[in-house]
């Protein structure tokens, strides 16, 4: 009897358990999907409009508005830190993240902008103070955003299309690195110093390619061919700049611009890597004062360059020339001058680039010199290396063509200029 009673109790327990389990499987209606009102949605263009037409440089969002977008640049390559770029159909914008990681190329996002700060600087728009954990909902992953295919000519700062390309993922076609920036490292991994490399088109338009010394491809060599490059376009000191996501998106394997005509004839090249101003027949002439051109290095530019300043315990009256040897351009077809400069944030006369066909030696005043037009580093930023662009020498095709860099200063103002990678070549 005792055994039978135990069996009866077990059966009863099983029945109760079954009833409990089946009751847990009862089907309920699914809760309604929460739709975000259209009034609380903003496009990238709508976000930027918060500052458009105002004198403000920043705007803080204080209510729940949402931006739907796709990530087009992340931190994987090491060239962006606590930074991502996103876009929608109306444009692109930079995200400054409170902490590193969490967003990847191809992620589809909903970002609640409450607490984010919109900043506009030099034409770039940034959403600052983005907390990925608290403000971002990842809706989908694995998308493959494609770059906008364009040319350097289309990145002219005076065109209306440029503003729509700031922050965008672009693919620039028919470009190559300037001769001095071919077969060199993208940056300097040993010192973790960043570098700017000049990318140019066959027509002479240029753009700076920026690479951080912390990127995982800083030590890779730049290619020496023509083709296309993918990166994020931004503005720096009023000029266009390209930042790479990864070096494998640099596809320069075609023939160089100059290879289709008179080959890539280089008539003169001076990069100061031997730490000398006068090797190769160059000369320096002091017309006023005792200050001189010199060579120098810096942590972000570890290879030597030329430097000139009219400041020494105060501004000085100076006139100092750096003059090339005679360059034989008598058989040239389309000779052009290229170089790059970096200036300090000091007022003073701009560096002059001049050319002569009758100078031999001695004081520059013994010859006729003509000023050439070239892009110089602005003195509104601190030592930003700036490519000169293409400076034509076609009007000076003689056997005794000389170029010179003329520096002047006064007791009222003395700028500082750095100079490097001087090349005269066919293209």
pLDDT at residue 302 in the model: 67
pLDDT at residue 151 in the model: 80
Q: How far apart are CA 317 and CA 408, in angstroms?
A: 7
Tokens matching residue 167:
């922050």
- Helices in 130-185 by DSSP H: which ranges? 132-135, 160-165
Tokens matching residue 102:
């969490």
Of 423, 262, 396, 264, whose CA–CA distance to 329 is shortest? 396
CB proximity list for 37: less than 8 A, separation 6 or greater: none
CB proximity list for 203: less than 8 A, separation 6 or greater: 152, 153
Q: How far apart are CA 121 and CA 238, in angstroms?
A: 10
Would strands 386-387 and 195-201 be described as parallel, antiparallel, or unpaired? unpaired
DSSP letter (8 states) at residue 274: T
Distances (CA, A) of 74 to 71, 84, 99: 7, 5, 13
In angstroms, how far is CA 415 from the centroid of its own chain? Answer: 25
Q: How far apart are CA 112 and CA 71, in angstroms?
A: 15
Please check whether the two domains, 148-257 and 266-426, share a CATH topology. Answer: no
Q: Is the dihedral of CA 95, 100, 105, 106 positive or negative?
A: negative
pLDDT at residue 56 in the model: 67
Question: Which CATH number, 2.40.128, 2.40.50, 2.30.30, 3.90.25, labels domain 148-257?
Answer: 2.40.50
CB proximity list for 123: less than 8 A, separation 6 or greater: 163, 166, 235, 238
Of 303, 342, 307, whose CA–CA distance to 188 is shortest? 303
CB 170 within 8 A of CB 72: no
Say which CATH class 38-140 falls into: mainly beta
Tokens matching residue 70:
């796709």
Of 303, 280, 302, 283, whose CA–CA distance to 293 is shortest? 283
Of 189, 213, 210, whose CA–CA distance to 198 is shortest? 210
Say which CATH class 266-426 falls into: mainly beta
In tens digits, the chain (427 residues) has pLDDT values of 444 444 454 445 444 444 444 433 334 344 444 454 555 899 999 999 888 665 667 899 999 999 999 999 999 999 999 999 999 999 999 999 999 989 999 999 999 999 999 998 877 899 999 999 999 999 999 999 999 888 887 775 434 445 678 999 999 988 999 988 998 899 998 889 999 999 998 877 889 999 999 999 999 999 988 899 999 999 887 778 999 999 999 999 888 886 544 445 889 989 888 889 998 889 999 999 999 999 998 766 667 899 999 999 899 999 999 999 999 999 899 899 999 998 987 889 999 999 999 999 999 999 999 999 999 988 777 788 888 888 999 999 999 999 999 999 999 999 999 999 899 988 6
Domain residue spans in the chain? Answer: 38-140, 148-257, 266-426
pLDDT at residue 261 in the model: 42
Which DSSP string corresponds to 102-118?
S--TT-EEEEE-TT-EE
DSSP letter (8 states) at residue 401: B
CB 386 within 8 A of CB 375: yes
């Amino acid at each position: 009897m005792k055994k039978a009673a135990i069996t009866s109790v077990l059966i009863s327990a099983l029945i109760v358990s079954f009833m409990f389990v089946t009751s847990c499987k009862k089907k309920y209606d699914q809760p309604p999907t929460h739709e975000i009102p259209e009034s609380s949605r903003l496009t990238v263009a709508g976000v930027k409009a918060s500052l458009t037409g105002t004198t403000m440089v920043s705007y803080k969002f204080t209510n729940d508005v949402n931006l739907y977008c796709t990530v087009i640049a992340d931190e994987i390559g090491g060239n962006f830190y606590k930074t991502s770029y996103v876009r929608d159909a109306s444009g692109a914008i930079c995200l400054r993240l409170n902490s590193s990681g969490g967003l990847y190329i191809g992620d589809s996002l909903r970002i609640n902008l409450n607490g984010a700060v919109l900043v506009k600087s030099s034409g770039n728009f940034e959403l600052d103070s983005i907390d990925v954990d608290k403000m971002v909902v990842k809706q989908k992953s694995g998308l493959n955003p494609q770059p906008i295919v364009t040319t350097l000519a289309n990145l002219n700062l005076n065109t209306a299309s440029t503003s729509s390309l700031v922050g965008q993922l672009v693919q620039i076609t028919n470009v190559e690195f300037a001769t001095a920036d071919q077969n060199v490292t993208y940056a300097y991994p040993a010192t973790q110093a960043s570098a700017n490399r000049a990318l140019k088109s066959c027509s002479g338009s240029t753009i700076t390619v920026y690479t951080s010394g912390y990127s995982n491809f800083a030590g890779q060599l730049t290619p020496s061919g023509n083709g296309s490059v993918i990166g994020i376009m931004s503005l720096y000191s009023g000029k266009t700049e390209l930042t790479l996501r990864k070096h494998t998106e640099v596809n320069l394997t075609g023939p160089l611009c100059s290879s289709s005509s008179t080959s890539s004839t280089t008539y003169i090249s001076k990069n100061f890597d031997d730490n000398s101003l006068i090797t190769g027949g160059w000369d320096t002439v002091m017309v006023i004062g005792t200050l001189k051109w010199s060579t120098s290095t810096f942590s972000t530019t570890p290879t030597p360059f030329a430097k000139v300043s009219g400041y020494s315990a105060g501004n000085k009256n100076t006139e100092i020339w750096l003059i090339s040897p005679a360059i034989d351009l008598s058989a040239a077809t389309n000779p052009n001058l290229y170089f790059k400069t970096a200036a300090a944030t000091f007022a003073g006369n701009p560096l002059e680039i001049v050319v002569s066909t009758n100078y031999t030696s001695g004081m520059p005043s013994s010859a006729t010199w003509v000023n050439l037009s070239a892009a110089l580093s602005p003195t509104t930023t601190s030592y930003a290396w700036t490519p000169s662009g293409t400076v034509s020498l076609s009007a000076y095709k003689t056997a005794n063509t000389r170029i010179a860099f003329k520096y002047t200063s006064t007791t009222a103002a003395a700028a500082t200029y750095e100079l490097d990678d001087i090349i005269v070549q066919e293209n």
